Structure 1
């Protein structure tokens, strides 16, 4: 037998080894600290250079601690949709299905994301690693399906109130360098799913459109290289940029379209003819504000402000003039927007104090559901207190609503005092045919649409196709249908050259049945090829809705 070798060194207990490590760390940190101080004195470095990094470090720690201990303020809008919207239904059965499917979906998505590399596009070389979508599934707080009298009979519209408070962890880097990570993503918003058109054969639906009704609430934590962007100031800018990109990508009227059948199959199997959206015109007049709290400090005298008002309805944003040095501004600012007849969405009025050379100061906000505005604030001035922890003043505004009518007498009876707009033009562009660029090849086409003095609208860029499918509706406010013209300018975005133009006089629609030009090809002018645009136009007139209670 081999003699046993005994270790004469005593076995240190676990507590002793832990204390030894802590003492070593303390010694190293103190040595580094005094070494840095000695270097500053040796190289005669001005101590002012240390103020900026130390200040940023303290602010970053403070924001982190504040974010961890801050208690959420529960608002009415944070409650489930079925509580404050009676026509929304609970969806616990969907949540039960999601909770059971989530472990399998989590494993599948984790396997797909890990070690995945993007091989084209702006993020070429981005590699995902150590990624997990989290153990907490999204929660459906309410579901609303619109009735046939609220939407077109050719579509099914579903609104889903979704809340995602995920413990996910997404780590990525470029070619395994510059590692950055995002974790604990929070998202709250209302997703609209539109199934259209309805078909008489499987799959029964031609397209699935997905979008947010209003910009969602988004929050997350960053780690790695991205942690640099989580300092105060930059953090807010990053989150605002992300929300703006979401708005441009999938907040109404922008949608994500998923076709289930081809356009030719859709036309053959279509259950009912295409119908335009059911719209109404909302005329908003912001009259004045009273009792505002000054945000500009004045050494001798009372504080004052330079207020202006921002009006938001869905993706439409309007801004009033700036009134200098007053706490009782009178704007008389008007704005006209088209909204869906179902009155989905919110009207937001925000007051800001303009500051030259720095960011503007927030002074107060009013948020009202469009249905509430329609029921209680139609056709008469309304004064509402601005939201905040303490009294911030009042804002006075007036709204008018107009139906869209096909009676020419409503155009003749319209008064300029009611609104600047007299009619609405709805255009559905189906496709383009025989488009070629200056080299005789398929262009990268974009359509620019304009009607009278209304805002210019653009289609998405169509990638290298002679017969691109547009399949989009565009709506325009018309001042004078007797003289205004509708034009479509086609452009090749690659070579920055014109592909032609289409002109339609709105007076031509006044002589057509129901003031409508049914789907037909329109010849593209100023082009050598026989290019055409297939589209349908509908002209409707404004009919004022009586004020509430009259």
Structure 2
């Protein structure tokens, strides 16, 4: 009637089916990409009944592409680090520590051809808002040669070895390029550092003096860049970033080191003399007393630590056999702090790692921080049921010492002062770095003091 061929109807049906198929495929691809963006691991596991043994999803990721960039750019970094880091930052810092170092200078800086490597990167996303936080393992065993001059004497170092875990926090996040206002960076614990001395340094390259020098260098690094100390690198102007230097602890963990059993015997004659080292990133490392001649020691000791990041950090235990020359390692264990947050008290046996046998019995408590005065009564009741021979804390005092201005000169010697600050609370004392011959010292020092009687 309308003079239409049947082929036109078939063509229309084909176009309809084809368009519907295209739309369906597009929706499926869109849904797939959304699922991958939300959780790639769950998506891949849902797509396969059984994954090959070599497929895994680690928390810490390798970053070989970063290592390739560093390797390519390393020859060009020499001049920048020479001026921007060594001469503009380190030289004034060293000269400011003592008047005897007033003429300190770097004579030679050769970074060599072997760059540092990034061993692994872990980026935190859970419970981390308004910032980007990552932990980076830095490893360096290169051919750099550094020579410094003091009082006309040249001393150099070579064969530098360095291993450390550095945390980088990109904050505050802003709505203009470069999207990040500043980078805060610090080491979670003291890095491992070693080197060989050259030139005049070979005269003091004796094992005891060399170890003492390493201790001094590690202490300087700790005072600058190991938690709770931190460095801030601003990316933009006119943004307040002073608060980033502040320590922002999240809580306090109380560790009861109770006992161990079936420890390995590290002594030829008799049995091991075990003790335990306990540490949390950014806090003081404590150790128990030594129990002589036993593989099943009982300590019953309590230690308290300030926690910077419970989402990412762990409490670490290392067991040693005490010896006169060098203590023998007989096991380690750790426990993630985020497992403590929703529990009042955890009493558990931890299997010691890196040894054939042994376990450690610990009891742990986590206390979140609050400014409410009523919380003191709650923690007082908890403290009363604990081991009463220990002095347990009830509050945390965080003291940030920024700087001093216009300090008076010495009237007797008519010279600039050598200022430092000391903070003392309930017998606990902390001290800032001493600045030689300065009337306007910039300390930027953080003290964290646990208080047993905060109301008195």
Distance 2:341 2:58 in 1: 15
Which of 289, 294, 297 is residue 260 of structure 2 equivalent to?
Answer: 289
Cα distance in 2 for partners of 1:238, 1:272 equals 33
Classify 1:238/1:160 alpha carbon distance in 2 versus 1 (closer, same or farther; 3 Å): same
The Cα RMSD (Å) is: 4.8
After superposition, the Cα gap between the structure-2 partners of 1:403 and 1:238, relative to the gap in structure 1 and judged at 3 Å, is: same
- Using the alignment, how far apart are the partners of 1:241 and 1:461 within structure 2? 14
- Report the alpha carbon displacement of residue 457 of structure 1 after superposing the two structures with TM: 2.0
Q: 1:266/1:371 Cα in 2 relative to 1: closer, same or farther (>3 Å)?
A: same
User: What SS does structure 1 have at the residue aligned with 2:334?
Assistant: strand
Give the direction of change, closer, same or farther, for the CA distance of 1:250–1:85 in structure 2 (3 Å limit): farther
User: Does 1:445 find its partner at 2:410?
Assistant: no
What TM-score does the superposition give when structure 1 sets the normalisation length? 0.56
Residue 425 of structure 1 corresponds to which residue in structure 2? 397
**1 CA distance for matches of 2:79 and 2:364?**
52
Contact 2:228-2:247 at 8 Å conserved across structures: no
Partner of 1:339: 307
Q: Report the TM-score, using the length of structure 2 for normalisation.
A: 0.65
Query: What is the correspondence of 1:342-357 to structure 2 with a 5 Å cutoff?
Result: 342-355=310-323
Spell out the pairing of 1:69-80 with structure 2 (5 A cutoff). Answer: none
SS at match of 2:374: helix
Does residue 255 (structure 1) correspond to residue 220 (structure 2)? The answer is no
Aligned twin of 2:46: none
Structure 1 equivalent of residue 67 of structure 2: 95
Separation (CA, whole Å) in 2 of partners of 1:437 and 1:237: 34
Match of 1:396 among 361, 377, 382: 361
Evaluate the alpha carbon distance shift between residue 110 and residue 258 of structure 1 in structure 2; reply closer, same or farther with a 3 A threshold.
closer
> Hey, what does 1:409 align to over in structure 2?
374
1:495-539 per-position Cα deviation (integer Å, ceiling 9, x unaligned): xxxxxxxxxxxxxxxxxxxxxxxxxxxxxxxxxxxxxxxxxxxxx
Q: Secondary structure at the match of 2:70?
A: helix
8 Å CA contact 2:229, 2:446 repeated in 1: no
**CA offsets 1:40-85 (integer angstroms, 9 cap, x no match):** xxxxxxxxxxxxxxxxxxxxxxxxxxxxxxxxxxxxxxxxxxx875
- The structure with more radius of gyration: 1
Q: Does the 8 Å CA contact 2:116/2:142 hold for their aligned counterparts?
A: yes
- CA distance 1:274–1:160, change in 2 (3 Å): closer
Cα distance in 2 for partners of 1:441, 1:226 equals 32
Structure 2's unaligned 5+ residue stretches are: 1-55
Partner of 2:334: 368
How far the C-alpha of 1:339 sits from its partner, in A, is 0.8
Secondary structure of the equivalent of 2:346? coil
Aligned twin of 2:113? 135
2:258 corresponds to 1:280:
no
Change (3 A) 1:165 1:435: closer
Residues 266 and 464 of structure 1, relative CA distance in 2, 3 Å threshold? farther
Q: Aligned runs of 1:14-33 on 2, under 5 Å?
A: none
CA separation of 1:333/1:438 partners in 2, compared to 1, >3 Å: closer, same or farther?
same
Match of 1:380 in 2: 346
Q: Does 1:188 align with 2:168?
A: no
Q: Does 1:325 align with 2:293?
A: yes
* Aligned residue number for residue 105 of structure 1: 77
Select 2:408's aligned residue among 436, 439, 462.
Answer: 436
The corresponding residue for 1:162 is 138
CA deviation profile, 1:30-49 (whole Å, cap 9, x unmatched): xxxxxxxxxxxxxxxxxxxx
In 2, Cα distance between equivalents of 1:461 and 1:203: 37
Write the distance in 2 (CA, Å) between the matches of 1:378 and 1:229. 53
Cα distance change on mapping 1:172 and 1:354 into 2, 3 Å: same
Instruction: Confirm or deny: 8 A CA contact 2:155 2:197 kept in the other structure.
Output: no
